[in-house]
Amino acid sequence: MRDVYLDYNGSAPLDPRVAEVMLPILAEGVGNASAAHQFGRRQAAAVSLAREEVAGLVGGRPSDVVFTAGATEANNLTLRGVIEGADTDRSRILVSAVEHASVSEAAGWLSEQGLAKLDLIPVSAGGFVDPDVVEALISPEVLLVSVMAANSETGVLNPVGEIAERVHAVGALFHCDATQLVGRLPFDVESVGADFVSLSGHKICGPGGVGAMIGTRASLRHLQPIIHGGGHERGLRSGSLNVAGIVGLGAAARIGAAERESESRRVADLRDKFIAALKARLPGVHDNGDVTKRLPNTANLRFAGADAEAVLANMHPVAASMGSACSSGAIEPSAVLLAMGLSREAAFESVRFSLGRFTTAQEIDAAAARVVTAVEYVLAVTQEDG
């Protein structure tokens, strides 16, 4: 059996059409994009087109796109940059309990440094943030609220437009990490009412190590940079631009905007067939998270009684992941699943499958059969041991 890649939320493969646009820049693109000579100007023109393509995917003005080295940097820039640039006495930040580490750890660091007072916004059993809960927690001391558009582990969507309204009602700023949602479902900076949005190249079949933070004219005014230097990207992110990466991100955004709808329909259909096949052949398969509002490509499944690490090890050559993080040698259960109220045991039995642009129906049939065998094997061994 051939390798089957079902870990698109971890990192999606580079679209060959994106590689095609990047190659000439890598091979022949000469010059620093800030240089005044013709070589530099050509590089700058390519970056400028990419800025438009990114704004074409998520809305906002191209000039409010700040290129970064990925969503991790975009998230750090927003959280730290807002706190350090604040010209008010507000210093409370609210962050949902299921954010990516690049939001939650950045917020935790700000709190440890005494720069902000941090409160976590709990999520429902379905894994989403309820706007009423945000409203109950919010106060005039809040400077920034950060809630992701879609969760990377469960795919569950948050009602970010409604949340932004409640946030703006007290004069606070709203940051939305849209890394997993853009290119899969429609997102518009203005209609959501986001003051800052983060996204990443390698989640939308673009290159890794490049991403963007999209702000607004007003929100960027007070933002402080976290990287100081030559004043690139309106002084918000110094460092000679990664032109090939940025051009690749632009191409991925353009393709994503054009193909999102048809691709999402096709991928959701495959995902649903995959889940149905597993449920038909295995006992104790449970969906984690609200299946009525989630990304079209993601399934987070619990195989009751089967340790997820053992399942993953036995389902080779099918690649998926578990939401747990391995830190200092100890495997911890997924913080996202725990925040939704799952027990540690249930979290340790959960696997995330994420599909995407190049997933085929044949792969899904083969993967389902392989996963069934793996789970059956793990259940049998567990029973013997027990």
Smallest gap from Cβ 9 to ligand PMP, in A, equals: 6
Q: Give the binding range for ligand PMP (CB under 6 A) out of 36-44, 66-74, 156-164, 333-341.
A: 66-74
CB of 2 to ligand PMP, least distance (A): 25
- x/- string (CB under 6 A) for ligand PMP, residues 203-242? --------x-------------------------------
Cα 60 to its chain centre, rounded Å, is 19
| Minimum distance of ligand PMP from residue 117's CB (angstroms) | 23
- 241: which 2 tokens? 């631009």
Stretch that binds ligand PMP, among 45-53, 175-183, 222-230, 298-306 (CB under 6 A): 175-183
Question: Residue with CB nearest ligand PMP?
Answer: 70
> What per-residue string of b and e applies to 318-344 under the rule 16 or more CB within 10 Å gives b?
bebbbbbeeeeeeeebbbbbbbbebee
User: Least CB distance from residue 11 to ligand PMP, whole Å?
Assistant: 7
Could you give the string, one character per residue 183-202, with x where binding to ligand PMP holds by CB under 6 A and - elsewhere?
A: -----------------x--
The question of whether 205 is a catalytic residue gets the answer: no
Core vs surface per residue 128-155: b (16+ CB within 10 A) or e: bbbbebbeebbeeebbbbbbbbbbbbbb
Q: Which is nearer to ligand PMP, 125 or 325 (CB)?
A: 325
Please identify which of the residues 26, 326, 361, 380 carries the catalytic annotation. 326
Which residues between 128 and 167 bind ligand PMP (CB under 6 A)? 148, 152
The mark string for 69-108 relative to ligand PMP (x by CB under 6 A, - otherwise) is: -xxx---------------------------x-x------
Q: Give the interface with ligand PMP as residue ranges (CB under 6 A).
A: 70-72, 100, 102, 148, 152, 177, 179-180, 200, 211
Catalytic residue list: 326
